[in-house]
Amino acid sequence: MILLDTNLLLRITNSADPLCALSRTVIHKLLSKRERLIIVPQNLYEFWVVATRRAGSPPAGQNGLGMLPEQASQWLSFFQRRFTLLPDREELCARWHDLVRTREIKGFRAHDARLVAAMGSYGITRLLTLNANDFTGFTVTVVDPSSV
C-alpha cells in the first residue's frame, strides 16, 4: 500500500503543470504493478481547496487551479473510483494531536502530519509525494515519483 500525497492528485488534473506527465506515468506504473494506491479524506479536502481556489488568490504563492465546483467534484469521483479511499479511523485525531504536539508542528505542516497520522492508523509506511521535504522527520518511507 502506498498513500498518495495530494500534490500528485493536483498534478494529474492539470495538463499545463510540468509535472503532470510524470505524475500520471508513475501512477499508471504502480497500478500496473498491482500496487494498492490509497487516498484518505484529507486528500479530498486538500484537493478541493486548491482545485477550486482562483489562480492568483491569497495566500500569496498558493495559487489554485480555478476549477468550478462541478469540475472538482468530477475529479473527486474519479479518484474514488481509481484509488482506494480509506475512511478516517476513530484514533486519527489522537494520533494527529500526538504528532503535532510532540514534534511542535506549526502552520501548514499540520496537514502533512494528519496524512502521516492516517497512514499510521492503517499501518501504511510508504508515501508517494513530489514534496519529500514536507515529510522530513516523520517515520514514513517517501517514494519519489522519478525513482519508480
Per residue in 40-53, pLDDT (tens digit) is 999 999 999 999 99
Q: Which fold has domain 2-147?
A: Rossmann fold (3.40.50)
Per residue in 101-147, pLDDT (tens digit) is 999 999 989 999 999 999 999 999 999 999 999 999 899 999 999 89
**Beta strand segments in the chain, E:** 2-4, 37-39, 84-85, 126-128, 141-143
Position 60 confidence tier, pLDDT thresholds 50, 70, 90: very low
**Is residue 23 exposed (0-12), middle (13-18) or buried (19+ Cβ within 10 Å)?**
buried
Q: Are 48 and 76 in contact (CB under 8 A)?
A: yes
C-alpha dihedral sign at 132, 24, 126, 51: positive
**Is residue 33 exposed (0-12), middle (13-18) or buried (19+ Cβ within 10 Å)?**
exposed
The total of other beta-carbon atoms located within 10 Å of residue 34's CB is: 6
Where do the structural domains in the chain lie, given as residue ranges? 2-147
